[in-house]
Structures are given as structure tokens and as C-alpha cells.
Amino acid sequence: MSTADTPENPPNAKLVDAKQKWAEEGRLMTGSAAPRADRLPPGQREVKNWPVLDLGIQPEIALDQWELTIDGLVDNPTTWGWAQFKSQPHFTDVSDIHCVTAWSRYDNHWEGVSAKHILEVVKPLPEARHIVFHSYDGYTTNVALSVFDDSDVLLAHSWEGKPITTEHGGPVRVIIPKFYFWKSAKWVNRIEFVAEDRPGFWEERGYHNEGDPWTEQRYS
């Protein structure tokens, strides 16, 4: 299930239609590329604020009700409640973020649990090659396991020293700095390890399957 298309939890249809049209038209594409060492990918502009983008749904999850399940092709399927999640080794990182809608924000300070630690805990099976993130709003997105297994990837609970707000994906969201930010799922509640690639919400609607900002992988 890729969306929360239910009467009580519908996505913003106008937003979805508009962004699908962007994909069809190749909007914001410059046709250029930049080395990964460059700080600002092609077609991006730096912003100082943190714009809010979602499907029109911002689920409020009480901390005593929050859970994260990590399962699929792993040796040690795991479910953490909030206290268990916060008891994991503390990880901090500073990274830039790049949104497919052409903004970038520099020097974001994150706190949370590293992807490296998660992989150590659940121990992916040899046949696991991809990951699907599932969120409380029904959103999904996919990445290769090799993308998740990077030193700057984490599940973040704090930004700039404060808990991540609901509008930005709190209490916990994925942070994958090297890829467009739609891959960094908000309100994450499940990480599923799979053998075959499985496109998520935006990937099924014309967005690129991988999403590398430096080669402008905005759309498929």
C-alpha cells in the first residue's frame, strides 16, 4: 500500500496532481550535472528557512503510542517503542538537505539513531538488497540498502537541538542527506528490508527511482 487513500485520511489530491505534472513536464530540470563535492546541486537555491511539504496529512503521534518496526529480510526483526528507541546509542550529524522542489538548506544539526547501528541490530539477510520506508500517513519510499548503509544516514528525533516538530516529520523521520529529500520519509513507523526494488509513492508518480541531486535525478 503506497498511500493513505482512505476517507478519513485522504492525501492532498491537488498537490499530488501538480507534482505529477511537474514530472511529466520535467519542471526545474537544468540538464546540467555537478560533482558530489559541490555543495549546491544543479537547479537548486539555498534557503535559510525549512519549507514544509507533505501530502496534506500531518499525523499527530503520541510518544507513548509511537512504534518503529524493522522487519522483512532480516535475522532479528525488531520493534521499538519510544523509550527503547531513545535508549539506543546516540548519534549526531551535520548535513545539507536538498528538496526536489529546488531548495537546499545547509548545515542542519541532527540527533537520533544511526543507520549503521540499525543494521547491526537487525542483521539484514544476504538476499536483502533494498529498503522500503513506511510512514504513519501511508507514505512509502524506497532506497537501495547500500544507500541506507552510509555514515550520514540516521533516524532523527531532533533538529537544531530540539525535537523535530510534527510538520517536519516528528517524532522520528529518516535523514538521507545525499539524495533528494523525498527519500527521507517523515513520520516513519516501519523499515522493511526486501530483495526486489519496490517503488514508493512519488516513484510511482513519475519521480526518479533513485534521486541523486548532483545528476538531477528528479524524474523518471
Domains parsed from the chain with CATH numbers: 13-215 (3.90.420.10)
Phi/psi-derived region of residue 27, left when phi > 0, alpha when psi is between -120 and 50, beta in every other case: beta
pLDDT of 207 reads: 95
Extract the C-alpha cell encoding 62.
Answer: 503520541
User: What is the C-alpha separation between 132 and 72, in angstroms, rounded?
Assistant: 10
Q: What is the pTM of this model?
A: 0.89
Does the pLDDT of residue 3 top 60, yes or no?
no
pLDDT of 5 reads: 34
Asked if 141 and 185 touch (Cβ cutoff 8 Å), the reply is yes
100-108 average pLDDT score: 96
Distance of CA 130 to the CA centre of its chain: 14
Q: How confident is the model at residue 10 (pLDDT cuts 50, 70, 90)?
A: low
Beta-strand relationship, 103-114 and 45-46? parallel
pLDDT single digits (tens) 44-89: 999 999 988 766 778 999 999 999 999 999 999 999 999 999 999 9
pLDDT of 57 reads: 78
User: What is the C-alpha separation between 38 and 105, in angstroms, rounded?
Assistant: 14
Phi/psi-derived region of residue 182, left when phi > 0, alpha when psi is between -120 and 50, beta in every other case: alpha
* Percentage of residues in the chain having pLDDT higher than 90: 79
User: What is the C-alpha separation between 65 and 19, in angstroms, rounded?
Assistant: 32
Terminal Cα-to-Cα distance of the chain (whole angstroms): 21
pLDDT single digits (tens) 113-171: 999 999 999 999 999 999 999 999 999 999 999 999 999 999 999 999 999 999 999 99
Does the pLDDT of residue 8 top 60, yes or no?
no
- φ, ψ (nearest 5 deg) of residue 37: -70, -20
209-219 average pLDDT score: 96
pLDDT of 25 reads: 62
pLDDT of 23 reads: 66
User: What is the C-alpha separation between 125 and 95, in angstroms, rounded?
Assistant: 29
Number of H helices, E strands in the chain: 4, 11
Does the pLDDT of residue 7 top 50, yes or no?
no
Mean pLDDT of the chain: 90
Asked if 115 and 162 touch (Cβ cutoff 8 Å), the reply is no
Single-letter amino acid code for the residue at 49 = N
3-9 average pLDDT score: 38
Q: How confident is the model at residue 27 (pLDDT cuts 50, 70, 90)?
A: low
188-212 average pLDDT score: 97
pLDDT of 29 reads: 74
Does the pLDDT of residue 204 top 80, yes or no?
yes
User: What is the C-alpha separation between 197 and 219, in angstroms, rounded?
Assistant: 17
* Percentage of residues in the chain having pLDDT higher than 70: 90
**Exposure string over 56-80, b if 16+ CB within 10 A, otherwise e:** ebbbebeeeebebebebbbeeeeeb
User: What is the C-alpha separation between 182 and 38, in angstroms, rounded?
Assistant: 20
